Amino acid sequence: MQNIDFQLSNFFFEIGRSVPLWIVVFLATYSIWIIGACVLLVFRKRSNNFFKDLLLLFCATVLAYFLNFIVGHFFFRDRPFVSFGFDPLIGAPHTAKSFPSDHAAIAWTAACYIFIRYKKSACVFLVLALLVCLGRVLAGVHYIGDVASGAVIGSISSLLVIYLAKKRILF
């Protein structure tokens, strides 16, 4: 399975070098901020309780980040540019973990939260979360398995926080 992850990721690393650099940098670095701005817009327009939604999403994001930290501690994997010996297209510390992707976890936490709570806006967020993941792989700072695991962790975090909120265990 790891060999497939490496081969498929390497395919995307090559594509990342043929795409204009500004596109890769935008997707890998700045598109996550667009998700944050869109979250605020959706909450402002559609939320009955802006601050509660914001707090719940914050809790889900912190949970995703914490779970990523734990998983990354037990399953450390070097970044692709370290393993394959190439220069990444964006700045990333070579000593930082690759698995799982924090950017993917945060993007999918927001996308899953919006998908569950505000279905009309879900498509935009799902596409944005996919673009964040794609950008991280194209830039050579994550493998596909890293962003996939981050997406799963982020989704589970949102599901858990929403479940706890509905059961009145959380807020």
Peptide bond connecting 100 to the previous residue in cis, omega within 30 degrees of 0: yes
d(CA 29, CA 33): 8
Q: Is 46 exposed, middle or buried (0-12, 13-18, 19+ CB in 10 A)?
A: middle
d(CA 130, CA 140): 16
Domains of the chain, CATH where assigned: 2-166 (1.20.144.10)
Q: What does 139-155 look like in DSSP terms, one character per residue?
A: TTSS-HHHHHHHHHHHH
pLDDT tens digits along 22-36:
999 999 999 999 999
Q: pLDDT: is 95 or 102 the higher one?
A: 102
- Mean pLDDT for the chain overall: 92
pLDDT tens digits along 131-155:
999 999 999 999 999 999 999 999 9
Query: For residue 52, is pLDDT > 70?
Result: yes
Q: Write phi, then psi, for 67 (nearest 5 degrees).
A: -65, -40
pLDDT of residue 48: 87
pLDDT tens digits along 66-99:
999 999 999 988 888 888 888 888 877 767 888 9
> pLDDT-derived band of residue 58, with 50, 70 and 90 as boundaries?
very high
